[in-house]
Copies of this chain bind each other. A is one copy, B any other.
Amino acid sequence: MTSSPSLLDTLRQVVGAAHVLTEGDLAAYEQDWRRRERGRALAVVRPGSTAEVAAVVRACAAQGVAIVPQGGNTGLSVGSVPDASGRQVVLSLRRMDAVRAIDGANLTMTVEAGCILQNLQAAAEGAGHLFPLSLAAEGSCTIGGNLGTNAGGTAVVRYGNTRELCLGLEVVTPQGEVWDGLSGLRKDNTGYDLRDLFIGSEGTLGVITAATMKLYPRPAARLTAWAAVPSMQAAVDLLGLAHQHLGAGLTGFEVMGQFALGLVDKHYPQLRVPLWREAPYCVLLENSDHESEAHARALFERLLEAALEAGCVSDAVVAESLAQAKALWHIRESIPLAQAEEGLNIKHDISIPIARIPAFVEETDALLAREIAGVRLVNFGHLGDGNLHYNVQAPEGGDAKAFLRDEEERINTLVFDSVARHHGSISAEHGVGSLKAAKLPRYKSKVALELMRAIKGALDPQGIMNPGRVLV
């Protein structure tokens, strides 16, 4: 490691010595969430304001030192940890965690990048509104990270991805200038859409320091149902019926394969997974209603009757209480944990046009069974958005570590090539990071990559913003 004393001195002047970490256990900043990479930072810098972020970026830019922006460091694609060189500065936004304003009449909230998602949900609720972004890491991820990766989650079918929930941004450019694009406007056609360019750019074009996010009226009732469906095609048909019957009330539509639910049953039998033995897939549906619980229940009953009659549901339960609803969601959220209990596995985060999902699953299941002996598929995800976590568990009883070492690359190629044949995406909601950056040239058009490189070169000519991510 080449230390750079004058840079560290400058950084200490900017943010205070207590907020420039160079010693002690920095694992929380250097180790990625899935424990795939452990890097080493020149320093972890924790600015407390937008002006400090700008000064940090200017100091790094002056010496050509790379910056890795970091929020909760819960990303799943290795996008927010430093490389092993010891020459990159981790810029942690965690201290910038103020809710700057909540505007009820405008249904907006202006928040700093380091706010924990769960705290924003609570702040919105405290003001009588709903902030609908919801995902597994909400207790530790930050809104800045959600924006940087355009996070998805479980309510996208109704409210969209993080992108669709954002009206304006404040960004520090790679030159250390502050773009104040905070805006509570629903309509603003005065030039290029810089907001959406920064959203999902994974810290490679600048540092998001604050955002104005949309709020929604809180629904009067939320109801959850669990349905056994005879096939993936039946699940897709059920989705169509749910759109018809629930309209915009349809807030969540998750599919879970039998093997995935079996793992939950095996490792967490106390969760009492319903209906999983009797069907190849189960579906979790959520209906938000602005009228009343009775109304929500009547709509759900009509939907499920129609679905039973159409043969796309074989059995179903509707949660009778909030506790039951939470228990059903808890089962869904326990799938990744049950996977971890079962052992090492390979995660995929793919999306496919919804109509093609049954064919994709049938073909890819068969392909993997043929090519990879003993493979076990843990298939679940946000079917309402066409997003599957089509994961692969190592064969039962074998050496999972050796399996991953020997087969992961081949399995990824088989799955991603199949995704490409079905016009899908190899990263639906987790982003590219460094994990998938090298794969983009195979799965993304040459023209798109050229456009992306031209933009990166124009905004960050020094290449100091999160290098090695998205574009390699």
Residues in A lying within 8 Å of B, measured CB to CB: 103-108, 149-150, 152, 156-157, 160-161, 163-164, 173, 177-181, 183-194, 196-197, 199-201, 205, 217, 219, 236, 240, 243-249, 289-291, 299, 351-356, 382, 385-387, 423-432, 436, 440, 443-445, 447-452, 454-459, 470-471
Beta-carbon contact of A448 and B185 below 8 Å: no
Measured between beta carbons, the chain B residues less than 8 angstroms from A184 are 353, 386, 423
Nearest-CB distance from A112 to chain B (Å)? 18
Measured between beta carbons, the chain B residues less than 8 angstroms from A178 are 447
Measured between beta carbons, the chain B residues less than 8 angstroms from A452 are 191-192, 194
Beta-carbon contact of B240 and A105 below 8 Å: yes
Beta-carbon contact of A186 and B385 below 8 Å: yes
- Contact check: which of B164, B432, B454 meets A459 at CB < 8 Å? B454
Residues A192 and B201 in contact in the complex (CB < 8 Å), given A290-B245, A353-B106, A458-B454: yes
A431 to B192, CA, bound (A): 10
Lowest 5 A-B CB distances belong to which pairs?
Answer: A247-B290, A248-B248, A105-B355, A458-B458, A196-B196
A160 to B173, CA, bound (A): 28
- Contact check: which of B191, B217, B245, B424 meets A185 at CB < 8 Å? B424
Taking CB as reference atom, which chain B residue is nearest A454? Answer: B458
Residues A429 and B189 in contact in the complex (CB < 8 Å), given A236-B105, A423-B184, A445-B179: yes
Taking CB as reference atom, which chain B residue is nearest A352? Answer: B185
- Contact check: which of B193, B243, B247, B457 meets A458 at CB < 8 Å? B457
Residues A105 and B190 in contact in the complex (CB < 8 Å), given A178-B447, A423-B184, A445-B179: no
Assembly stoichiometry (copies):
2
Beta-carbon contact of A179 and B432 below 8 Å: no
Nearest-CB distance from A234 to chain B (Å)? 13
Taking CB as reference atom, which chain B residue is nearest A180? Answer: B445
Measured between beta carbons, the chain B residues less than 8 angstroms from A149 are 189
Residues A247 and B445 in contact in the complex (CB < 8 Å), given A103-B355, A425-B189: no
Query: Most chain-B CB neighbours within 10 Å: which of A161, A189, A458?
Result: A189
A35 to B447, CA, bound (A): 38
Measured between beta carbons, the chain B residues less than 8 angstroms from A196 are 193, 196-197
Beta-carbon contact of B188 and A290 below 8 Å: no
Measured between beta carbons, the chain B residues less than 8 angstroms from A217 are 243-244, 247
A92 to B347, CA, bound (A): 46
Measured between beta carbons, the chain B residues less than 8 angstroms from A353 are 103, 106, 108, 184-185
Q: Please list 5 pairs of residues, one from A and one from B, whose beta carbons are closer than 8 Å in the complex, sorted by A's number.
A: A103-B355, A152-B187, A156-B187, A190-B427, A193-B201
Nearest-CB distance from A124 to chain B (Å)? 14
Beta-carbon contact of A290 and B173 below 8 Å: no
Query: Most chain-B CB neighbours within 10 Å: which of A236, A243, A291?
Result: A291
Beta-carbon contact of B183 and A354 below 8 Å: no
Beta-carbon contact of B451 and A187 below 8 Å: no
A219 to B246, CA, bound (A): 11
A185 to B205, CA, bound (A): 24
Residues A430 and B243 in contact in the complex (CB < 8 Å), given A103-B355, A448-B194: no
Nearest-CB distance from A426 to chain B (Å)? 6
Nearest-CB distance from A300 to chain B (Å)? 13
Measured between beta carbons, the chain B residues less than 8 angstroms from A423 are 183-185
Residues A470 and B192 in contact in the complex (CB < 8 Å), given A351-B186, A353-B106, A457-B458: yes
Residues A387 and B187 in contact in the complex (CB < 8 Å), given A199-B193, A247-B219, A290-B246: yes
Beta-carbon contact of B186 and A386 below 8 Å: yes
Extra contacts, 6 of them, besides A177-B447, A191-B471, A192-B200 (Cβ < 8 A), are A149-B189, A181-B445, A189-B429, A217-B247, A219-B247, A246-B290
Nearest-CB distance from A210 to chain B (Å)? 14
Query: Most chain-B CB neighbours within 10 Å: which of A160, A183, A196, A440?
Result: A196
A248 to B288, CA, bound (A): 10
Measured between beta carbons, the chain B residues less than 8 angstroms from A103 are 353, 355
Query: Most chain-B CB neighbours within 10 Å: which of A194, A356, A470?
Result: A194
Beta-carbon contact of B187 and A428 below 8 Å: yes
Beta-carbon contact of A188 and B445 below 8 Å: no
Measured between beta carbons, the chain B residues less than 8 angstroms from A445 are 179-181
Nearest-CB distance from A152 to chain B (Å)? 5
Measured between beta carbons, the chain B residues less than 8 angstroms from A185 are 351-353, 386, 423-425, 428
Nearest-CB distance from A128 to chain B (Å)? 10
Measured between beta carbons, the chain B residues less than 8 angstroms from A200 are 189, 191-193
